[in-house]
């Protein structure tokens, strides 16, 4: 093995290995499945007869501790370690429900004949580049393994009985006089029995697949890989030279024709109808002609395929059960799995991702017949970073879904679902997870007073601000942070916000007229003059300063705007005409605006968004992320001004370290205008729960969801749906344990709230 990943397997045979990830094949629409299948056919056709290649699918058991440790939330001695422990216990219980004990990986190993390493290297690198590009066209993430990674992979295969760490350095070889084999070898091998072998503390058996079925199914390989035991499925594939393949088929047709003529002569001599010939001859003749036609005119090639299945277990009885289960899968698809008696050693070596096939039991298949073993099933999302958050269990594999939104190109998110589907609960679960796992600040716009109990449970770290005509909590919409904008002058962006606010207040179907906008902009600049000269809290203007400045203007439009503002300044709705009297510096802040009337609620949500923008700009200076959750987001999208400001947040927050999440039941509102549609297009994270029938049709078209995928958001139970994470789509189920303290503060069910 060389450090760059090239391995000299035999004297003149060199190989390299590429690891590739999964894509959602089984969940896709039929047209998409066909497109993936055809692309996979083109992929296979790339390999000519000079390149041998091997597909390896490894399901190896990992130590449960390694998984369990990756989801432990470390204690921080801040008074919330009891919640961290409870959340960690919940995650570990969820982990136990899946088969995350198995690490599933996929590899493509390819090899060429060459005189020496020097001549093999450029050819292998050229083939490697082509293969990686082909994977890219399929939308599959793939990367080449270097020498250390290939050795570690084989070390893992040879040490299934003990999850010991692979220790190796290229510098050790000359000092110790050892070869790379010494670092990967197991503690022992035993090939005494004819139909199985022992390796360390494990027993194993390799079988080959006899492909008897005339028609194969694309689920076959997926069913093997869904087995919940350690196994390695290997396909050695060798392309046959096209001219040679056509000649071979023609020769077979000639042989069959000669046999047919012999049968006809016999029939004439025996005095019966010469058209009556053995059915096998007729069948084989028709099949051979079809294959010839495929090879000559349908972009098909001929491949020789060896299909091996390596089962392992802790003891012989368990091994026999695993082999029996694999045999049942083969029989289901009219194929047969046969143990390689007295050839277990060669079979084990052929199952290593080395590109070496020592079992020459080959079956000739055309491109499309070979491609039916589609190596893609469904993706897993289990990210192990310290900021990965729990999203539920994969509904297909029961494995934990852990994702870090910050790794997305665009971390903006949406939580969509009908009432009662679990939207608010999902948002709260994410909020508490963010609080326990990260250092991010969390701000919540809460129009229905659903988040107060959760935020209050966080003690001094949480703060609920009640904004209502009767409350003594005040937010000044005129607050200005000097980092408010990227520009030299933060006043321009603030002026834009105040224009949106006035437009909402003055109303009218046409909004503000150009003259009115000019007057407001002029007055805004005047009222901030003292503060910009001397930025002290007492110089911060309030809405009344703007009102008085408008009154001082000569234009009649200024008097009209001032009159419209009067009810919010000196009238009964003067809740926003005060200096901010609360310290919005707790780590978790919930803005409770339920008590605001219908007219004030939209204004309140807009002012909350502006207060959040101020906080985001402060945090940006300190290099801190800010998460912003907007419940009942459809309320913001009904008015043009609030919708435009929300779209602005979705477009600009990412650059400022902000991660907004909209929670809404009305998908139609998200697509009500071309501008608002930007929210949808700028969200790489969508947590979709049960959907109303009208919304399902819209979403299927907008997100290109297959009917099968759509079934996961059709009449689904609470906490069930589809997760969109970048280009990955996964069905999920979240059954949060009800006997926890966290559940009691997160639930919104009235009966459970009263009981708690």
Pairing of strands 336-339, 202-210: antiparallel
Q: Render pLDDT for 634-667 as a digit per residue (tens, 0 to 9).
A: 888 877 777 888 888 888 888 888 999 999 887 7
Count the alpha carbons within 13 Å of 81 in the hemisphere toward its beta carbon.
Answer: 6
Tokens read off for 267: 């029939």
Of the candidates 473, 481, 509, 510, the one whose C-alpha atom is nearest the C-alpha of residue 497 is 481
| Mean per-residue pLDDT, 202-214 | 90
Looking at residue 756, what is its pLDDT?
42
Q: Are 732 and 392 in contact (CB under 8 A)?
A: yes
**Cα–Cα dist 321/227, whole Å:** 12
Tokens read off for 575: 């809740």
Q: Render pLDDT for 449-475 as a digit per residue (tens, 0 to 9).
A: 889 888 988 888 888 988 888 888 888
**Cα–Cα dist 249/265, whole Å:** 24
The percentage of the chain sitting over the pLDDT mark of 70, rounded to a whole number, equals 94
Q: Render pLDDT for 134-167 as a digit per residue (tens, 0 to 9).
A: 999 888 889 999 999 999 999 999 988 777 788 8
| Mean per-residue pLDDT, 313-322 | 93
DSSP characters over 401-426: EEE-GGGSSS--EEEE--TTSSHHHH
**Cα–Cα dist 667/690, whole Å:** 12
Rank 270-279, 579-588, 682-691, 704-713 by mean pLDDT and report only the highest: 682-691
Looking at residue 412, what is its pLDDT?
94
Q: Are 594 and 447 in contact (CB under 8 A)?
A: yes
For 31, other C-beta atoms within 10 Å of its C-beta total: 10
Q: Is the pLDDT of residue 501 over 90?
A: no
Find the range with the poorest average confidence among 55-69, 456-470, 615-629, 661-675: 55-69
Q: Is the pLDDT of residue 96 over 80?
A: no
Q: Is the pLDDT of residue 676 over 70?
A: yes
| Mean per-residue pLDDT, 156-179 | 86
pLDDT tier at 696, thresholds 50, 70, 90? confident
pLDDT tier at 131, thresholds 50, 70, 90? very high
Q: Render pLDDT for 580-617 as a digit per residue (tens, 0 to 9).
A: 888 777 899 999 988 887 778 888 888 888 888 888 88
**Cα–Cα dist 197/148, whole Å:** 27
The number of residues making up the chain comes to: 756
Q: Are 45 and 61 in contact (CB under 8 A)?
A: no
**Cα–Cα dist 469/604, whole Å:** 11
Looking at residue 487, what is its pLDDT?
57
Q: Render pLDDT for 344-367 as a digit per residue (tens, 0 to 9).
A: 999 999 999 999 999 989 888 888
Tokens read off for 195: 């139909």
Looking at residue 215, what is its pLDDT?
77
Q: Is the pLDDT of residue 755 over 50?
A: no
Q: Give every CB contact of residue 285 below 8 A, 6+ residues apart in sequence.
A: 253, 256, 257, 260
**Cα–Cα dist 158/646, whole Å:** 56
For 7, other C-beta atoms within 10 Å of its C-beta total: 22
Q: Render pLDDT for 232-284 as a digit per residue (tens, 0 to 9).
A: 999 999 988 877 777 777 778 787 778 888 877 888 888 777 777 777 777 77
**Cα–Cα dist 482/89, whole Å:** 44
If one compares 445 and 694, the residue with the highest pLDDT of the two is 445
Report the chain's C-alpha Rg in angstroms. 34
Task: Using alpha carbons, list the distances in angstroms from residue 78 to 217, 369, 438, 463, 720.
Answer: 56, 60, 13, 16, 33
Q: Is the pLDDT of residue 751 over 60?
A: no
| Mean per-residue pLDDT, 386-406 | 88
Find the range with the poorest average confidence among 286-290, 514-518, 619-623, 707-711: 286-290
**Cα–Cα dist 503/14, whole Å:** 71
| Mean per-residue pLDDT, 45-51 | 91
**Cα–Cα dist 590/629, whole Å:** 9
**Cα–Cα dist 305/320, whole Å:** 26
| Residue 316 phi, psi (nearest 5) | -65, -40
If one compares 273 and 82, the residue with the highest pLDDT of the two is 82
The percentage of the chain sitting over the pLDDT mark of 90, rounded to a whole number, equals 33
Provide the 8-state DSSP code for 212: -
* DSSP collapsed to 3 states, 338-369: EECCCCHHHHHHHHCCCCCCCCCCCEEEEHHH
| Mean per-residue pLDDT, 556-561 | 90
**Cα–Cα dist 437/91, whole Å:** 13
Task: Using alpha carbons, list the distances in angstroms from residue 345 to 1, 306, 332, 410.
Answer: 21, 16, 28, 50
Three-state DSSP state, 475: coil
Q: Render pLDDT for 423-440 as a digit per residue (tens, 0 to 9).
A: 899 999 999 999 999 999
Looking at residue 65, what is its pLDDT?
56
Find the range with the poorest average confidence among 206-210, 269-273, 521-525, 663-667: 269-273
Q: Are 108 and 55 in contact (CB under 8 A)?
A: yes
Q: Is the pLDDT of residue 67 over 70?
A: no
**Cα–Cα dist 664/634, whole Å:** 6
For 222, other C-beta atoms within 10 Å of its C-beta total: 18
| Mean per-residue pLDDT, 404-409 | 91
Q: Is the pLDDT of residue 517 over 70?
A: yes
Helices (H) and strands (E) counted in the chain, each on its own, are 29, 23
Sheet containing 588-592: order of strands: 400-403, 389-394, 728-733, 720-725, 685-688, 413-416, 658-664, 626-630, 441-446, 588-592, 462-466
| Residue 85 phi, psi (nearest 5) | -65, -40
For each of the domains in the chain, give its residue range(s) and CATH number, in order of start.
Answer: 7-62+101-167+195-244+299-371 (3.40.462), 405-465+585-756 (3.40.50.300), 476-579 (1.10.8)
If one compares 637 and 107, the residue with the highest pLDDT of the two is 107
Query: Where does 109-241 have alpha helices with state H?
Result: 117-138, 147-158, 172-176, 181-184, 220-225
Looking at residue 27, what is its pLDDT?
67
The pLDDT mean for the chain works out to 85
Its pTM stands at 0.76
* DSSP collapsed to 3 states, 223-272: HHHCCCCCEEEEEEEEEECHHHHHHHHHHHHHHHHHHHHHHHHHHHHHCC
Looking at residue 749, what is its pLDDT?
63
| Enclosing H/E stretch for 318 | helix 316-332
């Amino acid at each position: 093995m060389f450090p760059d990943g090239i391995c000299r397997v035999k004297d003149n045979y060199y190989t390299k290995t590429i690891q590739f990830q999964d894509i959602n094949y089984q969940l896709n629409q039929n047209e998409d499945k066909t497109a993936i299948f055809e692309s996979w056919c083109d992929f296979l056709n790339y390999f000519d007869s000079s390149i041998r290649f091997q597909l390896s699918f490894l399901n190896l058991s990992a130590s449960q501790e390694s998984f369990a440790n990756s989801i432990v939330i470390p204690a921080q001695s801040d008074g919330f370690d009891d919640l961290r422990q409870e959340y960690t216990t919940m995650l570990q219980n969820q982990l136990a429900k899946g088969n995350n004990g198995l690490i599933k990986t996929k590899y493509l190993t390819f090899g060429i004949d060459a005189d020496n390493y020097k001549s093999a290297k450029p050819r292998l690198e050229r083939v490697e580049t082509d293969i990686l590009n082909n994977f890219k066209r399929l939308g599959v993430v793939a990367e080449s393994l270097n020498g250390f990674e290939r050795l570690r992979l084989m070390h893992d295969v040879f040490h299934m009985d003990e999850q010991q760490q692979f220790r190796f350095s290229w510098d050790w070889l000359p000092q110790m006089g050892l070869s790379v084999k010494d670092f990967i070898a197991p503690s022992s091998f035993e090939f005494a029995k004819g139909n199985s072998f022992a390796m360390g503390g494990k027993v194993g058996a390799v079988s080959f697949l006899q492909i008897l079925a005339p028609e194969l199914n694309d689920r076959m390989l997926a069913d093997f890989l869904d087995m919940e035991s350690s196994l390695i499925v290997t396909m050695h594939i060798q392309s046959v030279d096209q001219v040679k393949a056509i000649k071979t088929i023609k020769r077979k047709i000639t042989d069959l024709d000669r046999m047919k003529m012999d049968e006809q002569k016999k029939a004439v001599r025996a005095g019966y109808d010469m058209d009556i010939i053995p059915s096998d001859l007729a069948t084989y003749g028709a099949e051979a002609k079809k294959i010839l036609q495929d090879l000559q005119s349908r972009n098909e090639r001929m491949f020789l395929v060896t299909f091996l299945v390596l089962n392992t277990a802790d003891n012989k009885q368990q091994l026999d059960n695993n082999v029996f289960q694999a045999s049942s899968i083969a029989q289901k698809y009219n194929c047969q799995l046969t143990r390689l008696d007295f050839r277990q050693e060669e079979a084990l070596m052929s199952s290593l991702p080395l590109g070496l096939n020592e079992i020459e039991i080959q079956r000739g298949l055309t491109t499309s017949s070979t491609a039916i073993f589609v190596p893609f099933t469904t993706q897993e999302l289990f990210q192990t970073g310290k900021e990965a958050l729990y999203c539920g269990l994969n509904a297909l594999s029961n494995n934990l879904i852990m994702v870090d939104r910050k790794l997305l190109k665009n971390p903006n998110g949406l939580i969509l679902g009908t009432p009662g589907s679990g939207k608010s609960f999902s948002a709260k679960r994410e909020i508490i997870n963010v609080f326990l796992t990260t250092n991010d600040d969390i701000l919540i716009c809460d129009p229905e007073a659903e988040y107060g109990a959760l935020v209050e449970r966080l003690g001094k770290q949480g703060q609920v601000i009640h904004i209502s005509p009767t409350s003594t909590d005040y937010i000044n919409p005129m607050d200005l942070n000097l980092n408010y904008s990227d520009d030299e002058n933060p006043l321009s962006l603030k002026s834009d916000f105040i224009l949106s606010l006035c437009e909402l207040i003055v109303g009218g179907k046409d909004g503000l007229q150009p003259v009115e906008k000019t007057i407001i902009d002029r007055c805004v600049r005047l009222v901030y003059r003292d503060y910009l000269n001397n930025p002290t809290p007492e110089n911060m203007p309030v809405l009344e300063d703007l009102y008085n400045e408008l009154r001082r203007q000569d234009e009649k439009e200024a008097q009209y705007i001032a009159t419209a503002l009067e009810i919010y300044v000196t009238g009964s709705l003067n809740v926003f005409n005060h200096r901010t009297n609360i310290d919005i510096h707790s780590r978790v802040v919930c803005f409770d605006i339920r008590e605001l009337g219908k007219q004030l609620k939209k204004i309140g949500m807009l002012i909350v968004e502006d207060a959040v923008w101020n906080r985001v700009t402060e945090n940006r200076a300190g290099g801190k992320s800010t998460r912003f959750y907007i419940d009942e987001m459809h309320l913001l999208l009904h008015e043009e001004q609030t919708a435009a400001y929300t779209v602005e947040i979705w477009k600009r927050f990412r650059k400022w370290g902000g991660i907004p999440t909209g929670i809404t039941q009305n998908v139609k509102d998200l697509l009500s205008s071309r501008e608002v549609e930007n929210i949808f297009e700028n969200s790489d994270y969508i947590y979709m729960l049960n959907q109303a029938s009208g919304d399902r049709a819209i979403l299927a078209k907008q997100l290109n969801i297959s009917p099968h995928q759509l079934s996961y958001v059709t009449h689904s139970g609470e906490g069930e749906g589809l997760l969109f994470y970048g280009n990955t789509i996964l069905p999920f189920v979240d059954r949060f344990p009800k006997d926890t303290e966290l559940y009691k503060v997160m639930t919104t069910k009235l009966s459970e709230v009263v009981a708690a």
